[in-house]
Amino acid sequence: VDVLVCVKRVPMPGATLSLTADERGIDTKFLGFTVSPHEECAVEEAVRLTTAVPGRSVVLTLGPEEAIEQLRDAISMGMQEAVLLLTDGQEWGPQATASAIASVIEAERDSGGGFDLMLFGNEAADTGDYQVPIRVAERLGVPCATGVKAISVEGDSVTATREYNGALETYRLTLPAVVSVREGINLPRYPSLPGRIKAKKAQIDRREPAATPDGLRLRRLRVPEGAGRTAEVLGTGAEAAPRVVEVLQSLGLVGR
């Protein structure tokens, strides 16, 4: 089974987030970078699927040159190939991102290297747009399932399960298909030492997609006002129990 996984480089926030002077981005001077937990799980799932039924595994990202770090992380986990869709460092909106990704997949398909399964994280950690996988699927004319927490591929179909309102919903899609996954679908492995060495040497397939306009445009970012809470310290250790119970009573949660 041939699998493509799309990931997005995002900062690894600390206990607070602070903004750049122009208020259009996060100040990343002291931050490391990663991908969302959903996407880490998508990479793990791709490695498992292409190991169980041998096939091609490709990780793709759209971002600046530095996003190669996230591609190498995915290779160190077991992905075989990596594609960087190089941007000018500007943030691309979900329409433009989906269009660029779909164009690459179409080009691969036209040259005989199409994918059976295209995996995404359910939503990006930073922008939370919830639409890129669906837009890609529509451009390609293939079915899509989102929020998936279990995948199995059999023959020419994929069975995907997600949780909804306390029930488990099952989808059976004919391949090729797009699936966006959620953290919890698996436990991602730590990269092995040979994996890291391989990642260091891996060739990165660089492409420069043409930017398309996006109807959703960022004006500025701001940090939400805090709840303005100053914690009332109820006490230390077990001695705090009577005060805790008073609070529970005042909230009407235990009998008065």
Site for another protein in 97-126 (CB under 8 A): 123, 125-126
Contact with another protein (CB under 8 A) among 21, 167, 193, 210: 167
Six token digits for residue 185: 């679908």
- Nearest approach, Cβ of residue 79 and another protein (Å): 21
| Subset of 128-157 contacting another protein (CB under 8 A) | 128-131, 133-135, 137-139, 141, 143-147, 149
Count other Cβ atoms within 10 Å, centred on residue 162.
21
Complex with another protein: residue 84 or 176, whichever CB lies closer: 176
What does the alpha-carbon distance between residue 227 and residue 170 come to, in Å, rounded to a whole number?
A: 40
- Nearest approach, Cβ of residue 158 and another protein (Å): 11
Six token digits for residue 125: 């950690």
Residues 6+ positions from 22 with CB-CB distance below 8 Å: none
What does the alpha-carbon distance between residue 113 and residue 110 come to, in Å, rounded to a whole number?
A: 7
Complex with another protein: residue 88 or 232, whichever CB lies closer: 232
CB-facing half-sphere around the CA of 34: CA atoms within 13 A: 13
| Subset of 174-233 contacting another protein (CB under 8 A) | 174, 182-184, 187, 214-224, 226-227, 229, 231-233
CA-based R_g, the chain, Å: 22
Decide: is 28 part of the binding site for another protein (CB under 8 A): no
Q: Are 10 and 124 within 8 A, CB to CB?
A: yes
Longest Cα pair distance anywhere in the chain, in angstroms?
A: 73
Complex with another protein: residue 80 or 127, whichever CB lies closer: 127
What does the alpha-carbon distance between residue 65 and residue 45 come to, in Å, rounded to a whole number?
A: 25
Contact with another protein (CB under 8 A) among 112, 155, 194, 255: 255
| Subset of 50-79 contacting another protein (CB under 8 A) | none
Of 114, 184, 193, the closest CA to residue 148 belongs to 184
Q: Which stretch binds another protein (CB under 8 A): 31-39, 79-87, 111-119, 200-208?
A: 31-39
- Nearest approach, Cβ of residue 54 and another protein (Å): 27
- Nearest approach, Cβ of residue 203 and another protein (Å): 32
The SS3 call for residue 78 is: coil
The SS3 call for residue 203 is: coil
Contact with another protein (CB under 8 A) among 26, 31, 86, 204: 26
What is the residue type of 217?
R
- Nearest approach, Cβ of residue 155 and another protein (Å): 16
Complex with another protein: residue 197 or 244, whichever CB lies closer: 244
Q: What is the DSSP letter of 97?
A: H
Decide: is 240 part of the binding site for another protein (CB under 8 A): yes
Contact with another protein (CB under 8 A) among 69, 163, 189, 209: 163
| CA–centroid distance for 68 within its chain | 16
Contact with another protein (CB under 8 A) among 36, 70, 76, 97: 36
- Nearest approach, Cβ of residue 11 and another protein (Å): 9
